[in-house]
Amino acid sequence: MNSNEIQQQLFQLIKTKLPAEASVADEVAKLLDISSDSAYRRMRGEKQITFEEVYVLAQHFRISLDQLMGIATGGILFQGNFVNEKTYGFEQYLTGIYHTMAYFNSFKNKELYYSCKDMPLFHHFYVREFAAFKWFFWLKTYLQFPGFAKKKFRFSDYPDELFQLDQKVLDIYSQLASREIWNIESMSIFFRQVEFYRDGNVFESDEDVLKLYEALEKIWDHLEKQAALGYKFRIDDPEQKPLGEYKMYFNEVLLGDNSILVVTDNLKMAFMTHTTFNFMMTRDVSFTENMFKHMQTQMKRSTLISEVSEKERSRFFRIIRDRIQKRKEALLV
């Protein structure tokens, strides 16, 4: 990689760090105390950036120079934030996802791969009741936010501003071509979470549990329709106007790990989950290439159930639908 390629890569990385609506040139000009026109010349490669300028930008945007220059160090650099009550709340978490997804959508060609240990985060947002439950469970049980310690679950507690953010994330996700690899056990975590709260009397009544299972049924019906058609569409769109391509794979043996890989025109980015739902990201070439090969291997060993394999698709969705129905019936006993 020559110096001009490194310079171009630097500005590409900076773009991923900024909100979709922000001007990279204006931000660079402000940091380097130069004019916007001068910043543009650097971005276009017409003027070579100095080492001091690289240092200022890399330090401000937390960019690894080793990674930027492709220097092999034997380590892999990940970046991310941790959701907490004081400095990085759930709203910031969703906003970060929105900006990242908006960046992906700025490329002409982009595709998202998701290895599903449980239901992908984006699907939570189709139905408000489901999103509300996952938000509450994460903050109360996993993160143990003090304000949730003695609270019972109520659908009405989910803030409107969070659901509005959900919809913004969902809208951008729906435009991306996606490949998801599922297993029969991908929904088991959700069922265990519901039973855990029911046993602990966290729900106000079994009517709320029933309402939650009905929310899952709506999502499940929508996912099956998308899989049958091979594309995404809004859950409230009766015309089912096509958005991004949707390919769903069914693997009977391998349970995923909620890892995500995004492949764009000229780069790959990998996201790994940790501490339940936090994400850390890397652009490390060796790591992302290895994950890409792994995803390809997983898909080859799975059954594509989008558009084709109707029998296998029906069986997969029926198994989960039967589990939902049995849990609904158990509430009436």
Domain boundary among 24, 47, 69: 69
Per-residue pLDDT tens digits for 109-121: 999 999 999 999 9
The verdict on 89 and 47 lying in the same domain is: no
The verdict on 229 and 264 lying in the same domain is: yes
The verdict on 201 and 267 lying in the same domain is: yes
The verdict on 220 and 265 lying in the same domain is: yes
Quote the number of domains for the chain: 2
The predicted structure's pLDDT at residue 75: 65
The verdict on 19 and 108 lying in the same domain is: no
Compute and round to an integer the Cα radius of gyration of the chain. Answer: 22
Q: Identify whether 74 is part of a domain.
A: no
pTM of the model: 0.79
Q: Identify whether 12 is part of a domain.
A: yes
The enclosing domain of 15 has a CATH number of 1.10.260
For the chain, the average pLDDT equals 90
For 91-117, what is the mean pLDDT?
A: 91
The verdict on 173 and 219 lying in the same domain is: yes
The verdict on 102 and 209 lying in the same domain is: yes
Query: Predicted confidence band at 332 (pLDDT cuts at 50, 70, 90)?
Result: confident
The verdict on 91 and 65 lying in the same domain is: no
The verdict on 33 and 114 lying in the same domain is: no
The verdict on 53 and 96 lying in the same domain is: no
Per-residue pLDDT tens digits for 9-41: 788 778 877 776 778 888 888 888 888 888 888
The verdict on 287 and 316 lying in the same domain is: yes
Domain boundary among 14, 36, 69: 69
Indicate whether 6 pLDDT > 80. no
Q: Identify whether 316 is part of a domain.
A: yes
Task: List the domain range (segments joined by +) for residue 51.
Answer: 3-69
The predicted structure's pLDDT at residue 207: 95
The verdict on 269 and 300 lying in the same domain is: yes
